[in-house]
Structure 1
């Protein structure tokens, strides 16, 4: 496959490591963008959330320290625009990895979903 995918990942994240290893074993070239150093911008999030087919709330890393620092009540009360701002400001708040492949965006690593996507990438 000639087109490399973009993967926003965190070096200390075991799920990200597993996803990158999976891509490598599938022979899929990837450009890795460190999500903590270069989180998605608000403009990217506006495009990517739509392309992912899931709500902005599904983009939250609910098991991380950043989420816990905000608190569930505050997150629940936030608008989608506020959530996009928070995600853009703190890469650790983003569920990861984020895979961007043209018009398709996958959030989190589910091998079966990735296999389905790349099977149809053709």
Structure 2
């Protein structure tokens, strides 16, 4: 099973998740949103699996700095457009394990997922 972690390098949660995986010798590939962006097809796939409400990080600095008009009337289409334009609004990490998608870092969930 190929594992890919999506996020940004300087995120504290990403750092914790990476340490967790590496300390258990779990091989993974890291995809940095800032350096590589995110493809619409990939984002659409995640939204289909976990929902845009889970993926959109309303607590992120990027989201909080948006104009009020951009935050109002959020629906799937608007949320996806925001996340594609500024991928740092996507909750971190997103972990792809084959056809499964995990959002956020919870050691107990990771433990079950990588068995």
Secondary structure (helix, strand or coil) at the match of 1:77 reads coil
Deviation at 1:66, TM superposition (A): 1.1
What's the counterpart of residue 81 of structure 1?
Answer: 77
Following TM superposition, the consecutive aligned residue runs of length 4 or more in structure 1 with deviations greater than 2 angstroms are: 37-40, 70-76
Aligned partners of 1:18 and 1:40: how far apart in 2?
22
Structure 1 gaps, min length 5: none
Structure 2 gaps, min length 5: none
Q: Compare relative contact order (CA 8 Å, sep 6+) and give the higher one, 1 or 2.
A: 2
Aligned partners of 1:73 and 1:112: how far apart in 2?
38
Report the number of matched residues.
115
For normalisation by structure 1, the TM-score amounts to 0.83
For normalisation by structure 2, the TM-score amounts to 0.87
Deviation at 1:82, TM superposition (A): 1.5
